[in-house]
Amino acid sequence: MKQAYFKKVKFVGSFLEAPTRLELPQFVFCGRSNVGKSSLINAILNQKIAKVSKTPGKTTTINVFLVDEKFYLVDLPGYGFAKRSKSMVNAWQKPIENYLLNANMLRLIFLLIDTKISIMPSDEIFLNWLKYNNLSTVIVLTKIDKASQSHLAKTKKAIETLNIKYIKTSSTYHKGIDKLAQLIEQACDISFNLSLFS
Ligand SMILES: Nc1nc2c(ncn2[C@@H]2O[C@H](COP(=O)(O)OP(=O)(O)O)[C@@H](O)[C@H]2O)c(=O)[nH]1
Ligand SMILES: [Mg+2]
């Protein structure tokens, strides 16, 4: 059932470089363009606050939302959009890397994967980078409503070899959103241990 998990949401702003020194816990959403980041944020917050677009590669800034004056959700620009010039792809990396490595209150990184498309080379590169830098990552499988059973089985198999926790979601049908909201809520606590979350 659809319900509001969080009450008060404030759009902090769009940034070219995310503020690394924030005083509250931060949760980051990243993944390839069009994977469903903005839709997922809207589903979690139960309002249309993040822009959803049919054209991939629209969000090129870092959008920050403050929730219940308790934590921040950070919507990163999508990567792996072929129509962008190579220099844009490189320009994406530096400020993001800088932010992820220096954010003082970063709690979890949600890496979104389209269930039907599965893990692409750009996701793999990014996942390796996250692992190398010891950043707590949870995979969010998106658009499960669009994936067949065989797509889902194939994608699950690919993820299980990575040994990373994952949550299956559909923003359209509000599936898995409660679990994600719960995870965010729990991970605000400094003593939270991701390996114990199920
Ligand atoms: N069927 C389906 N479509 C979705 C879902 N989530 C997002 N989309 C669609 O996927 C497209 C890209 O979504 P968006 O949230 O803008 O992706 P972003 O580029 O990662 O922020 C839009 O056309 C959305 O309507 C979902 O759960 N199910
Ligand atoms: Mg977006």
Best residue among 28, 52, 55, 110 to mutate for probing ligand 1's pocket (most ligand atoms within 8 Å of CB) is 52
**Which CATH number is 9-190 given?**
3.40.50.300
Would you kindly state where each structural domain of the chain is located, as residue ranges? 9-190
pLDDT, one tens digit per residue, over 153-193 is 999 999 999 989 999 999 999 999 999 999 999 999 988 99
Best residue among 30, 34, 114, 146 to mutate for probing ligand 1's pocket (most ligand atoms within 8 Å of CB) is 34
How far, in Å, is the centroid of ligand 1 from the Cα of 13? 21
How far, in Å, is the centroid of ligand 2 from the Cα of 20? 21
How far, in Å, is the centroid of ligand 1 from the Cα of 39? 6
* Protein residue closest via CA to atom 14 of ligand 1: 36
In ligand 1, which atom is closest to the CA atom of 170? Answer: 27
Instruction: Report residue 15's pLDDT band, with 50, 70 and 90 as the boundaries.
Output: confident
Instruction: For the chain, give the percent of residues with pLDDT over 90.
Output: 58
Q: Determine the average pLDDT of the residues in 76-101.
A: 69
How far, in Å, is the centroid of ligand 2 from the Cα of 64? 12
How far, in Å, is the centroid of ligand 1 from the Cα of 191? 33
Question: Which ligand neighbours the alpha carbon of 52 most closely?
Answer: 1
pLDDT, one tens digit per residue, over 102-147 is 998 999 999 999 999 999 988 988 899 899 999 999 999 999 999 9
HEC string of the chain equals: CCCCCCCCEEEEEEECCCCCCCCCCEEEEEEECCCCHHHHHHHHHCCCCCCCCCCCCCCCCEEEEEECCCEEEEECCCECCCCCCHHHHHHHHHHHHHHHHHCCCEEEEEEEEECCCCCCHHHHHHHHHHHHCCCCEEEEEECHHHCCHHHHHHHHHHHHCCCCCEEECECCCCECHHHHHHHHHHHCCCCCCHHHCC
